[in-house]
């Protein structure tokens, strides 16, 4: 298993073992590696939507304050190496190869002793923990992969802060079919005595999290109760003010548009304030504002200005589609919108389309780069049943080309439905709009 192979290919080779929740395999593997995750402070972030953006806000502020911070997120949009980042730089292929080699050596030992093979995500998580340990990261901002309780990131024993950014229906085959069931899985990251920040609108789901926090004597901060005041909206981002734990945060600007991003930013500010209270961070107001404004995630209502305006958004479930529709209605009232979309077969398509239809005048159906994709023809048929015109173009780049060919008929082109779709078309659309694709910050 330790043959000389490209490290990304080697990690992907574990895809054949599927996606399995549970901590037995990752715990055994990390133990053989000396439990590198135990040697750094960790902010652990779960949630159906928004968790990647919350992570990015916190990480950006930490970096602005000179903290040696790491960031572990998934999935990637443009480049595999995005998933592991330290001090503003993605892991290099040489660094990935070094850490992967060390992890593979221990997997050989695991298998020799009769352990079940780790999954692809478990291998990558072990590689990430080892890498951040080698870099001597002071704080790691750690995004949950799937759920919480059985996710491989949940080997963390005592995070500084836990965050649950939202609860909505997704991965119902793995996490439960109701919001309280999903909330119970997400709340599995809550550790005894560790503060937990939540932004959960559903009352019953919020009760589940509150009960678990109480049982574990974990202080609960409800970020959903914090009001954003003086909100200003534009395609370049939103600005707002808020009172966090009695402290005024004024004129906070975020470059990712949408009221959902304001909510994500408030979750991040709560975490930052907790770090300040723990004396882990000496806050500077100007550095904080710069960090929040500089935070960007590819494919989170990413606006490419021009004629027409192009928006790239990774809405991949009903809650994400609703957030996309709300933001598009706020920023593009009375505009003609062409929506290029491709989805995975296991997603709740009908409610997603109901939200998309609030803003889309016409569609191009395509296919994301994933084996679980719904065919463009099937998606077109579903869209046409809702009464909207749709063209099927299976290849995502050709779908983007078709959208660009029809640009004179529309004010806005939106590409959405799956993060796997965005990676295929993002470079093409950046080129066509004359905008350089920004590096991941």
With 50 as the cut, is the pLDDT of residue 231 above it? yes
Q: How many domains does the chain have?
A: 2
Final residue in a domain of this structure, among 294, 315, 337: 294
| Residue 72 covered by a domain | yes
Same domain flag for 192 and 73: yes
| Residue 124 covered by a domain | yes
| Residue 197 covered by a domain | yes
Residue 241 and residue 248 in contact, taking contact as beta carbons nearer than 8 Å:
yes
Mean local confidence (pLDDT), 208-233:
97
Final residue in a domain of this structure, among 261, 294, 327: 294
Same domain flag for 41 and 155: yes
Residue 183 and residue 159 in contact, taking contact as beta carbons nearer than 8 Å:
no
Same domain flag for 259 and 320: no
| Residue 73 covered by a domain | yes
Residue 289 and residue 252 in contact, taking contact as beta carbons nearer than 8 Å:
yes
280-305: per-residue pLDDT in tens? Answer: 999 999 999 999 999 998 889 999 98
pLDDT of residue 424: 86
Mean local confidence (pLDDT), 243-269:
96
Same domain flag for 348 and 413: yes
Same domain flag for 314 and 290: no
- 347 against 161, higher pLDDT: 161
> What are the distances in angstroms from CA 98 to CA 38, 95, 108, 403, 441?
20, 5, 16, 42, 24
With 50 as the cut, is the pLDDT of residue 1 above it? no
| Residue 2 covered by a domain | no
Final residue in a domain of this structure, among 270, 294, 318: 294
Same domain flag for 387 and 238: no
Q: How confident is the model at residue 393 (pLDDT cuts 50, 70, 90)?
A: very high
pLDDT of residue 19: 76
| Residue 63 covered by a domain | yes
The Cα–Cα gap between 78 and 152 comes to 23
pLDDT over 70, % of the chain: 97
Same domain flag for 278 and 309: no
Same domain flag for 269 and 332: no
With 60 as the cut, is the pLDDT of residue 439 above it? no
**Number of other residues whose CB lies within 10 A of the CB of residue 348:** 16
Mean local confidence (pLDDT), 123-132:
98
pLDDT over 90, % of the chain: 82
Q: How confident is the model at residue 98 (pLDDT cuts 50, 70, 90)?
A: very high
- 353 against 437, higher pLDDT: 353
pLDDT of residue 4: 64
Residue by residue, DSSP assigns 136-160 as T-SEEEEE-SSSSTTSGGGG-SS-S
Same domain flag for 209 and 148: yes
Same domain flag for 261 and 327: no
Same domain flag for 37 and 168: yes
**Which of 33-47, 170-184, 256-270 is predicted least confidently?**
170-184
pLDDT of residue 397: 96
Classify burial at 342, counting beta carbons within 10 Å of its beta carbon; exposed 0-12, middle 13-18, buried 19 or more. buried
Same domain flag for 260 and 374: no
With 50 as the cut, is the pLDDT of residue 437 above it? no
| Residue 440 covered by a domain | no
> What are the distances in angstroms from CA 25 to CA 97, 110, 115, 138, 304?
21, 9, 7, 26, 43
CATH of the domain at 393: 3.90.190.20
333-385: per-residue pLDDT in tens? Answer: 999 999 999 999 888 899 999 999 999 999 999 999 888 899 999 999 999 99
pLDDT of residue 173: 74
3-52: per-residue pLDDT in tens? Answer: 567 999 999 999 877 778 889 999 999 999 999 999 999 999 999 999 99
Its domain, for residue 246, covers 7-294
With 60 as the cut, is the pLDDT of residue 441 above it? no
CATH of the domain at 130: 3.40.1190.10
| Residue 398 covered by a domain | yes
């Amino acid at each position: 298993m330790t043959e000389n192979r490209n490290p990304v290919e080697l990690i992907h080779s574990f895809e054949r073992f599927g996606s399995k929740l549970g901590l037995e395999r990752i715990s055994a593997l990390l133990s053989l590696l000396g439990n590198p995750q135990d040697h750094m402070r960790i902010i652990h972030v779960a949630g159906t939507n928004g968790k990647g953006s919350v992570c990015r806000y916190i990480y950006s502020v930490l970096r602005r304050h000179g903290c040696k911070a790491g960031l572990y997120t998934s999935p990637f949009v443009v480049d595999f190496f995005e998933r592991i980042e330290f001090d503003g730089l993605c892991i290099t292929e040489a660094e990935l190869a070094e850490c992967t080699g060390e992890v593979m050596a221990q997997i050989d030992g695991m298998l020799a002793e009769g352990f079940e093979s780790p999954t692809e995500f478990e291998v990558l998580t072990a590689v990430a923990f080892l890498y951040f340990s080698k870099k001597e990261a002071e704080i790691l901002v750690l995004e949950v992969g799937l759920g919480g309780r059985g996710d491989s990131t949940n080997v963390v024993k005592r995070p500084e802060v836990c965050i649950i950014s939202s609860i909505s229906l997704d991965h119902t085959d793995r996490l439960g079919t109701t919001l309280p069931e999903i909330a119970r899985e997400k709340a599995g990251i809550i550790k005894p005595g560790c503060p937990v920040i939540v932004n959960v609108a559903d009352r019953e789901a919020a009760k589940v999290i509150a009960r678990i926090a109480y049982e574990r004597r974990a202080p609960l901060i409800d970020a959903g109760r914090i009001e954003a005041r003086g909100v200003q909206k534009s395609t370049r981002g939103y600005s707002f003010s808020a009172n966090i734990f009695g402290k005024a945060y004024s004129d906070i600007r975020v470059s990712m548009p949408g009221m959902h991003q304001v909510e994500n930013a408030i979750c991040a500010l709560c975490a930052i304030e907790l770090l300040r209270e723990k004396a882990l961070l000496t806050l500077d107001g100007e550095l904080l504002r710069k960090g929040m404004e500089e935070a960007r995630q590819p494919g989170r209502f990413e606006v490419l200005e021009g004629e027409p305006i192009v928006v790239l958004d990774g809405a991949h479930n009903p809650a994400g589609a609703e957030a996309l529709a709300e933001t598009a209605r706020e920023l593009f009232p009375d505009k003609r919108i062409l929506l290029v979309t491709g989805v995975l077969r296991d997603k709740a398509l009908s409610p997603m389309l109901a939200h998309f239809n609030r803003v889309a005048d016409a569609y191009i159906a395509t296919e994301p780069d994933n084996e679980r994709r719904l065919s463009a023809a099937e998606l077109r048929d579903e869209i046409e049943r809702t009464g909207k015109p749709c063209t099927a173009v299976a290849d995502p780049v050709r779908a983007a080309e078709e959208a660009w060919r029809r640009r004179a008929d529309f004010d806005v082109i939106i590409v959405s439905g799956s993060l796997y779709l965005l990676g295929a078309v993002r470079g093409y659309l950046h080129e066509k709009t004359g905008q350089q694709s920004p590096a991941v910050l």
